[in-house]
Structure 1
Amino acid sequence: MIISSSIALLDNKIKEQFWSLCLRAFGKTPNSFPPKKITISIAVAVVSIYAAFRKLTQPPPQLRNLPRPGFLQYVSTILMNKPYDNVLKEVIYPVAFKADHGLYAAFGLFGWSVYITDSVAARKLLTKTDLFPKINIINSQHQHTLFGRFAVGPNIIFLPHGPQWKAQRSVMNPAFNRSMPVRLFGELTQKLFVQLDKTADSSPIDVLDIMNRWTLDAIGIAGFDFDFDAITNKNSEWVTRYHHIMGGSRDALYQLLPFLESPRLRALFPKRNQIHHELDLFLEKMQEIIAHKREILNNNEFATNKKTNEKDLLTLMLEAAKEENGKLTDEEIMANLCGFFLAGHDTTSNAISYALYNLATHPDIQEKARDEANRILGSEPIDVLPTVEQINEMTYTQMIIKETMRVNTIVQNIVSRKVVEDVDIGGFVVPKGAQVTLDIMAIHRNPKIWKNPDEFNPERFEPGGEAEKVTKMGLGWVPFSNGARQCIGKNFSLTEQRVIIPMLLRKYELSLPDDSIHKDKVVISGIGSFSAVNLQIKLKKRY
């Protein structure tokens, strides 16, 4: 009766969406799960889902005077995995551009937020940390979710601005500044070539799969000296376990309704429980690695033949903490290593995949980048491992990378900031207590900021070009955020890209298959972060 009378309050469209969420949660179809057969335990869960669902449909009172997309229209695009670039034009732009401030309100991973689509407003948000501190989600309802247990810990990504964050940053900065494992990235690329040569000239490769494996080995070895061996064995135990965890973390249902993963309700979802068990095993392995590194450090056995810039980040973090007479707890180290995965694996693999797509669809740009690589690394038909000095010379490749990360945005928004006092943003007063974030793709594709924003044009980033003019006005390029909370792994990711892309171009010519679904534009999917769908690219060996 409680459920039936509650649902009767919903109109037909909301009812349909509500039952869709319920059925999805329990892995059922309408015919196999009629409401009259719901058990007491499931009834409690369904009533909870309904209460949360009603809360999602209306923003808090202080945001109701902002334009916002229709809730059902917005959420249905998420549940149906509709490409976000289409959502921008069909759902977001008509709302956001109603006023000059370019603000709109929408429900996201951490609740209702004000979304910014303007570069001047973006600069204010990211540089005024006193007015816009990060929200604290570490002890929120997300702490029991798969995503929360894996990534939302006491790390420099999610810690609010304060002494603990500053102490960690003082240790992380030296570690990341010292870590530039260019040789490792080159050697992993050579290892990748062995696999690519097996099918090059005969059948296309699944680019995202290949890049996921390359970046997983890169972050594993460079991060904490653990070899997933993903390049040569994509079905290995730890590769499979990691992908189960990351795939589960992106599940839209649990992102929208995080309370479903509370210990009290999780037992109702056996498949979800199994992924949590996989995460337990993954975290135990990382804890084992951390303990081993600590033991080595305590025994003063850090002598190594590796140069400082080729040491793994875990080693550098522990050394930096020791140099400063500071201490990072195992919990903090674990949280930061998981944060490196979150910020440095999927994002970089997607960035490289998009770059290869853009090169495959723009042969003239591909040839210009190849000429640069051959000029700096030599045109002899052999693999050459770039040096730090050489990748710094590849200015055109850097332009390609930057333009790729603009036009093919990977992450939708940053962790929301909380407004500590009423503040004017673009002529609109955002009230104290509201959450504010960036719609990064909307900024990167905003025609008020960029000329022909959907066009791939690396020359925007040449000295004195369009990007410099945009920067003088505000922050129109924010794939790594900006300001004090800018992604600490920015240079690490850019270095990975600047090593592998020139090496690939010297070795192969890239093109799309004739039947590619990406002929006109790259087709993407995802919630929160965006990936190309079944991106296949043909490789023709040059040597």
Structure 2
Amino acid sequence: MAVITLYTVLIAVVAMSLLSLSFKKLRSTKVKLPPGPYGLPLVGYLPFLGRNIHQTFMELANIYGPIYKLSIGQKLFVLISCPTLAKEVVRDHDITFANRNPTIAALAFSFGGKDIAFTPYGPEWRMLRRIFVHEMQSNANLDAFYALRRNQVKKSIKDVYGKNGTTIDVGMLAYSTVINMITSMFWGGTLEGDIGANINAQFRDAVSELLIIWGKPNISDFFPFLASFDIQGIQGDMKRASRWIENIFDFVIDQRTKNNTKISNKDFLDFLLEFKDHETGKSLSRPQIKAFLADIVIGGTGTTSTSFEWTMAELMLHPEVMKKTQEELTEVVGDANVVEEYHFHKLPYLQAVVKETLRLHPSAPLLLPRCPSQSCTLGGYTIPKGAKVFLNAWAMHRDSQLWENPYEFRPERFVGDSNKLDFSGNKFHYIPFGSGRRMCAGLHLGERMLMYTLATFLHMFHWKVPDGEKPDTGEKFGVVLEKSTPLIVIPTPRLNNLKLYH
């Protein structure tokens, strides 16, 4: 115990000294930093953040304005919550803010920050983005993988039908459906039978564990000099979970290359193994292939499944919207057919429902932070090099100066002329997937999976909450913005042709 106390004292002394030096340096430069609250010595504002920090950040914006700073440990955070300043970040100074400052956990699962989400801006990142966004997620490729997605959704329909009249956890339904779609698109028919089922089960467990670990606050992210101590054990846990996933990737890649397996439906692994850059003629290395696969599963699983659950919760709270959505599906799809992806463009009201859900419940309420590569000026204030800059999409989406009755769930605001508001990030008051060079790279795939699963389950089933219960919209901040309590519902078949459920 005495040794631990001594270490604690030494760490505190070193930290206080470093913090003091950093404050002296800032004062000596006489730069005009954004306003912000005072914190405590050593820890800054860390003790006052609370559990739902996106809500705390919005409250602080109401006090200090659309741009303010927070000192959290040794890190300087800058929070932005107005479209004008967001535009300065992602368009006017886009290259300056085109880098990330990944957490220690993020570095562990992204192969040292070498994936598309965290690779520093430059030629390598541009190549990765071109491959991931414009080639892997081209309409032609996503169409080619549709049969793989469709098979997994059909299996989920059958599972839900088997639970007719009993309660199910919507979040778990969405998570299992989405991750099964993703693993199917990863390696398709490479793994069959018991081996395939076992690998997919291991993969689901590993991804679940990784997302839980990533969501834990890590004191080493705020005090980098503590990283080598791994006080909370988060680095070690993340490395173990990442190795677990990496071993699964290696096994599947080895199976494909060793057996030279050819399958009728191509998958992402086929694409990555066969890829050659048309500019350089180079193939992808194995670490690059695994980084791409990791990006898809980490970026797609939690965001898509939580968006599904949030949408269902809002529909359960607004039965008139549910009724209108299902009537549109019946009119477009027909009560003797199942939903197909080609129906999407004929479902404007469902699209509006999804947009409104993501306005109120963006998967990443603060988006991924940006890190300026040099000191610059935003809104008349100096933003030092290396600061962590967050765009508070959650706050902008609930700003009464930007939205009429912002706390109301009203999909009609996205219907008609307003329907032109999309996920591209070109309208800076609506950026659920970010904007600019570093916006969400998996947008096209994520949007397809979300629309397909929602349209299918809304068309195939009626949904109700157990008697005497009512869904809530309490939030839980983490890697993604989750519901604080699971949504439990009871499904019953909606279509008369029961053969469609098998």
TM-score, length-scaled by structure 2:
0.82
Cross-structure match for 1:147: 106
Gap change, CA 1:397 and 1:442, over 3 Å in 2:
same
1:113 to 57, 74, 77: 77
Contact 1:201 1:538 in 2 (8 A): no
Larger CA deviation: 54-63 vs 147-156: 54-63
Q: Which sections of structure 2, spanning at least 5 residues, go unmatched?
A: 496-502
> Is 2:426 the partner of 1:462?
no
Q: Secondary structure at the match of 2:218?
A: helix
Aligned residues, how many?
474
Distance in structure 1 (CA, Å) of the matches to 2:73 and 2:127:
27
Cross-structure match for 2:358: 405
Gap change, CA 1:370 and 1:54, over 3 Å in 2:
farther
> Is 2:130 the partner of 1:164?
no
Task: State the shift of 1:357 in Å.
Answer: 0.8
Contact 1:132 1:420 in 2 (8 A): yes
Q: Secondary structure at the match of 2:107?
A: helix
Matches of residues 105-504 of structure 1 in structure 2 within 5 Å? 105-106=69-70, 111-128=75-92, 130-135=94-99, 137=101, 142=103, 145-151=104-110, 153-172=113-132, 173-177=134-138, 178-180=141-143, 181-203=145-167, 205-225=168-188, 236-254=201-219, 256-257=221-222, 259=224, 262=227, 264-266=228-230, 273=236, 276-293=239-256, 304-306=263-265, 311-321=266-276, 325-380=281-336, 384-386=338-340, 388-411=341-364, 412-418=366-372, 420-425=374-379, 428-431=380-383, 433=385, 435=387, 436-465=389-418, 468=421, 474-504=427-457
Cross-structure match for 1:81: 51
* CA deviation vs aligned residue, 1:172-198 (integer Å, no higher than 9, x gap): 221111224333333322211233234
* CA deviation vs aligned residue, 1:262-298 (integer Å, no higher than 9, x gap): 4x434x66686455333322212213333444567xx
Task: State the shift of 1:235 in Å.
Answer: 11
Gap change, CA 1:539 and 1:119, over 3 Å in 2:
same
Distance in structure 1 (CA, Å) of the matches to 2:17 and 2:483:
33
Larger CA deviation: 323-332 vs 156-165: 323-332
Distance in structure 1 (CA, Å) of the matches to 2:126 and 2:256:
24
Task: State the shift of 1:104 in Å.
Answer: 1.4
Q: Alpha carbon RMSD of aligned pairs, Å?
A: 3.7
Contact 1:419 1:431 in 2 (8 A): no
Amino acid in the other structure paired with 2:106: F
Cross-structure match for 1:13: none
Distance in structure 2 (CA, Å) of the matches to 1:470 and 1:500:
18
Contact 2:165 2:490 in 1 (8 A): yes
Distance in structure 2 (CA, Å) of the matches to 1:472 and 1:155:
22
Amino acid in the other structure paired with 1:146: A
Larger CA deviation: 178-187 vs 355-364: 178-187
* CA deviation vs aligned residue, 1:207-264 (integer Å, no higher than 9, x gap): 22221222111222223448899xx9999433223222221111113564575884x4
Contact 2:203 2:248 in 1 (8 A): no
Distance in structure 1 (CA, Å) of the matches to 2:48 and 2:171:
23
Gap change, CA 1:429 and 1:372, over 3 Å in 2:
same
Task: State the shift of 1:461 in Å.
Answer: 1.4
Gap change, CA 1:507 and 1:69, over 3 Å in 2:
farther
Contact 1:96 1:104 in 2 (8 A): yes
> Is 2:62 the partner of 1:94?
yes
Distance in structure 1 (CA, Å) of the matches to 2:9 and 2:177:
42
Larger CA deviation: 269-278 vs 492-501: 269-278
Distance in structure 2 (CA, Å) of the matches to 1:222 and 1:53:
50
Cross-structure match for 1:27: none
Distance in structure 2 (CA, Å) of the matches to 1:175 and 1:248:
28
Amino acid in the other structure paired with 1:93: A
Contact 1:449 1:470 in 2 (8 A): no
Task: State the shift of 1:146 in Å.
Answer: 3.4
Gap change, CA 1:419 and 1:199, over 3 Å in 2:
same
Distance in structure 2 (CA, Å) of the matches to 1:216 and 1:109:
36
Matches of residues 55-70 of structure 1 in structure 2 within 5 Å? 65-69=33-37
Gap change, CA 1:95 and 1:182, over 3 Å in 2:
farther
* CA deviation vs aligned residue, 1:501-542 (integer Å, no higher than 9, x gap): 1111122223344554744xx011123531102222323412
Gap change, CA 1:133 and 1:333, over 3 Å in 2:
farther
Gap change, CA 1:289 and 1:88, over 3 Å in 2:
same
Cross-structure match for 1:21: none
Task: State the shift of 1:496 in Å.
Answer: 0.7
Contact 1:103 1:117 in 2 (8 A): yes
Contact 2:90 2:97 in 1 (8 A): no
Contact 1:113 1:416 in 2 (8 A): no
Distance in structure 2 (CA, Å) of the matches to 1:256 and 1:517:
38
Task: State the shift of 1:441 in Å.
Answer: 0.9
Distance in structure 2 (CA, Å) of the matches to 1:130 and 1:270:
36
Gap change, CA 1:193 and 1:161, over 3 Å in 2:
same
> Is 2:453 the partner of 1:531?
no
Gap change, CA 1:50 and 1:500, over 3 Å in 2:
farther
Distance in structure 1 (CA, Å) of the matches to 2:423 and 2:295:
30
Task: State the shift of 1:483 in Å.
Answer: 2.0
Distance in structure 2 (CA, Å) of the matches to 1:392 and 1:123:
29
Q: Secondary structure at the match of 1:39?
A: helix
Task: State the shift of 1:45 in Å.
Answer: 6.0
Distance in structure 1 (CA, Å) of the matches to 2:54 and 2:191:
34
Q: Secondary structure at the match of 1:539?
A: strand
Cross-structure match for 1:104: 68
State the identity as a percent: 18
Gap change, CA 1:103 and 1:501, over 3 Å in 2:
same
Distance in structure 2 (CA, Å) of the matches to 1:429 and 1:340:
37
Amino acid in the other structure paired with 2:179: L
* CA deviation vs aligned residue, 1:316-358 (integer Å, no higher than 9, x gap): 2333436551232222222222222222111111111111111
Task: State the shift of 1:109 in Å.
Answer: 11
Contact 2:33 2:381 in 1 (8 A): no
Contact 1:171 1:317 in 2 (8 A): no
